[in-house]
Amino acid sequence: MRSSRTNRQCFFVGRILLIALGICGIAQNRAKGIQSAPQSNEHCDAGVSRHSLHAASLVEASDISASTKAEPHSSPDRMVWIPGGQFWMGTDHMEDAQPVHEVEVKGFWIDRTDVTNEEFARFVKATGYVTIAERPLDPKQFPNLAPEDLAPGSVVFTPPAGPVSLDNPLAWWRFVRGANWRHPNGPKSDLLGKEKYPVVQVAWPDAVAYAKWAGKRLPTEAEWEFAARGGRDRQDYPWGHELNPKGKWMANTFQGHFPDKNTSADGYAGIAPVASFPANDFGLFDMSGNVWQWVSDWYRPDYYAQLRRDAVAVNPQGPSDSFDPQEPGVSKRVQKGGSYLCTDQYCGRYMPGARGKGDPETGTNHLGFRCVRAQGE
């Protein structure tokens, strides 16, 4: 019995830590010790990359407005046409999003909002699909776990009672049995009245399965960022350079003292319904904050340096493999946009140019997705 408990604890701790290190770029973007003051986004990394791009070497690119381009004749339901063009991808605020580099993407359709609970429910009803969080753990992969320890579940943000060290993500992340997209915060939670909320607790393969069923796909990292910027090239946020222009909250993020006290100054302590905040200039909602969004690319912190070797990277599809120096043996997929848990005290990655990363096999209660479709697909 003691051995079983030990194995279970080791597995749970290992699995939670695996996710926690990937969420919001935590291992690369955190304050040290107990918080004493908000940390600047420009100084949240341990050091400056040798590949940092000097502002003086950049060449201004023209803003691209969706209204200046003709849309194809047929408009997919609840999607927006994004005209192709060039932009500067990345940000000098985050080491793994450097160097800023010029990218060209072709035009594509993208969902106006994240996929919602009601949309995902239609997919499940039509296909009988079972998400990874709803499946028991494979005993072949976990031979040392007792049968009762193979129960399905997922990772849930659980705020502590008071201030904690920000070096210990296990203080606010828990692996909860029975947590899944139907019960995002655990078995006692449900989706009643939350049909228009973004679906969460979806792993990367779950998102891919939905996209295929819908006749779409996940966006590349470059497509997602181009769309998120809305034509505002090299600005910090989808709406400009100020986080709160004229004191207005433009996205669902974390206010207060992370992780124990969210003051909900933006109107929401947790996830908000889709389209609760202003759209960007392309008419897209929630491209910053609310929930992270899966994209198709593998994660490598050196990928942008590889792309910079070309004058302009055309429709980059991401690296062929993954490498995360924080966990060299664990493959990661890129996540974009940040979530309602992002804050400049700990994780300022709600900027379009910033990057998140995560284990493809695991969802959380602050992670969703949206889909794209290229013309002719």
d(CA 321, CA 310): 20
Helix pair angle (204-213, 117-127), 10° resolution: 70
User: Which segments within 282-337 are labelled E, that is strand?
Assistant: 292-298, 313-314, 333-336
Q: Report d(CA 232, CA 235) in Å as an integer.
A: 6
Q: Evaluate if residue 73 carries a pLDDT over 90.
A: no
**What distance, in Å, lies between the first and last C-alpha atoms of the chain?**
55
DSSP string of 56-97, one letter each residue? GG--------GGGSPPPS---TTEEEE--EEEEES-TTSGGG
Nearest Cα neighbor of 251 from 241, 237, 230 is 237
Tally Cβ neighbours within 10 Å of residue 267. Answer: 10
- Average pLDDT (69-97) is 82
Is pLDDT above 80 for 6?
no
Going by their DSSP bridges, the two strands 153-157 and 173-177 should be labelled as antiparallel
Question: Using 50, 70 and 90 to split pLDDT, how confident is the model at 377?
Answer: low
**Separation CA 338–CA 341 (nearest Å):** 8
- Of residues 220 and 306, which shows the higher confidence score? 220
Phi and psi for 170 in degrees, rounded to 5?
A: -65, -10
Whether 296 and 224 have beta carbons less than 8 Å apart is answered as: no
| Pair 93, 44: CB distance under 8 Å | yes
Residue 254: count of CB within 10 angstroms of its CB: 27
What does the alpha-carbon distance between residue 265 and residue 28 come to, in Å, rounded to a whole number? 27
pLDDT of residue 31 exceeding 50, the answer is no
The whole-angstrom distance between residue 92's C-alpha and the CA centroid of its chain comes to 19
Place of tokens 């070797």: 309
pTM greater than the 0.85 cutoff = no
pLDDT at 148: 80
Q: Is the pLDDT of residue 240 over 80?
A: yes
Residue in 259, 254, 262, 154 with CA at minimum distance from that of residue 199:
154
Q: Which of 290, 15, 249 is nearest to 132 (CA)?
A: 15
Euclidean distance between CA atoms 287 and 296, whole angstroms: 16
For residues 194-220, give the mean pLDDT. Answer: 98
Q: 261: closest CA among 188, 187, 343?
A: 343
Report the pLDDT value the prediction gives residue 142, as an integer from 0 to 100: 72
Q: Read off the pLDDT of each residue in 253-259 and give the average, rounded to a whole number.
A: 94
Give me the mean pLDDT over the 298-314 stretch. Answer: 90
Report which of 13, 97, 88 is spatially closest to residue 349, judged by C-alpha positions.
97
What is the rounded distance in angstroms from the CA atom of residue 340 to the CA atom of residue 235? 21
pLDDT at 110 over 60: yes
Q: Residue 301 above 80 pLDDT?
A: yes
Q: What's residue 147's pLDDT? A: 85
Location of structure tokens 């000097």: 54
341-375 pLDDT, tens digit per residue, is 999 888 789 999 999 999 999 999 999 999 999 87
What is the average pLDDT across 107-121?
A: 98
CB 241 within 8 A of CB 356: no
- pLDDT recorded at residue 140: 84
For the beta carbon of residue 81, count every other beta carbon within 10 angstroms.
Answer: 18
Q: Mean pLDDT throughout 231-242?
A: 94
pLDDT value for 41: 40
Work out the average pLDDT over 118-129. Answer: 98
Is it the case that residue 157 has pLDDT exceeding 90?
Answer: yes
CA dihedral sign of residues 313, 316, 319, 324: positive
